[in-house]
Structure 1
Amino acid sequence: MTDLMNLTGRVLIALLFLGGAVQKAGDPGQVTRMIESLGLPGQLVWAVAAFNLVAGLCLIVGPRVRTWALVLAVYCIATSWFHWQLRADPWQVTIVVKNWAIAGGLLILAAQGPGRLRIWR
């Protein structure tokens, strides 16, 4: 049962990153504008979309789930800085809190490991 709950948790967290990849690739304009408003090149949207896709898939099937969980936890905390710069919008503050909560779940995953239900070790 623990392994099944672990897999379910990994899939649910991964869906956030996979959905983010689809959203960025399907309609990059909004994210591009946000990136550019912070003085960064808008083309970073494509690197972020690719990262989200690969990371989400690796959380589900492996390999190196612990490593990906740790990297994604750092990513969630780091990207919170960008949303905090837009804190005049209450939704952006909500995203900061959500990112920290997701980072907490990812740190637990990094500490506990993926369990036995994974494709790649």
Structure 2
Amino acid sequence: MSKIAAIIGRVLIGLLFVVSGITKLMSIGATATMLGSYGLPPSFAVPVGLFELVGGLCLAGGFAVRLVAVLLAVFTAGTILFAHNRFVDPAQAAQALKNLAIIGGLALAFAHSQMWGHYYTLRTSRRSESAALEAERRAHEAELRAARAEATVEAVRTTTPAGTHYVDTNHDGIPDTTLRGDGVRRRNRWFDW
């Protein structure tokens, strides 16, 4: 949900710059006069209009958001310094505050883009780590299955047949295997304690 809200905010802020750039490019003479009144060269009219238009389109389209957000924030701060620097005039103060709000929105667009960039990088690295761990887990399980199968085969091979008893006939401490009915005397065990 926060990604959708960030995209909507980024598009709306980009729209401000697109409309402003188109307005400046549609009336280049008025833009040149306005820039001259602020003490800037009138020849900046076309570059300023193009910068606002292209920057707004890039911001709204999500292209190089971090770079564009920084450039537009510096540009907007420059408009406060050069155009809206008479803070005693309520109209100029309102324009300066509006531009500060736009800079805040651009900072949020930068931060959100930065956060999602890190998120995607982290997610990609975690996927590769997860795949490696999964492969390691599968190899370990295959080794366990092989060891269990080997132990089962060994247990079947060493299991004595039914009816085989271990008796120490020569009293050397090692039980000798004898089958029933082989002539060895055995005591019946009545209690198994």
Tell me the CA shift for residue 70 of structure 1.
1.4
Task: State the distance in 1 between where 2:35 and 2:88 align.
Answer: 16
Superposed, which structure 2 residues align to 1:1-121 within 5 Å? 1-85=1-85, 89-113=89-113
Q: Is there any run of 5+ residues in structure 1 with no aligned partner, and where? A: 117-121
Tell me the CA shift for residue 85 of structure 1.
4.2
Tell me the CA shift for residue 72 of structure 1.
1.0
Task: State the distance in 2 between where 1:60 and 1:4 align.
Answer: 13
Tell me the CA shift for residue 89 of structure 1.
4.8
RMSD over aligned CA atoms reads: 2.1
Moved more, 51-60 or 86-95: 86-95
Count matched residues: 116
Counterpart amino acid of 1:52? E
Tell me the CA shift for residue 31 of structure 1.
2.6
- Indicate conservation of the 8 Å contact 1:25/1:46, yes or no: yes
Report the identity percentage.
38
Tell me the CA shift for residue 36 of structure 1.
0.6
Moved more, 97-106 or 77-86: 77-86
Task: State the distance in 1 between where 2:16 and 2:43 align.
Answer: 21
Task: State the distance in 1 between where 2:11 and 2:84 align.
Answer: 27
Q: Is there any run of 5+ residues in structure 2 with no aligned partner, and where? A: 118-193
Q: With structure 1 as the length reference, what TM-score do the two structures score?
A: 0.83
Task: State the distance in 1 between where 2:63 and 2:56 align.
Answer: 11
Task: State the distance in 2 between where 1:34 and 1:61 align.
Answer: 29
Considering Cα pairs closer than 8 Å and 6+ residues apart, tell me whether 1 or 2 has the greater RCO.
1
1:84 aligned counterpart, secondary structure: coil
Correspondence for 2:174 = none
> Which structure: greater strand fraction?
2
Larger Rg: 2
- After superposition, the Cα gap between the structure-2 partners of 1:83 and 1:48, relative to the gap in structure 1 and judged at 3 Å, is same
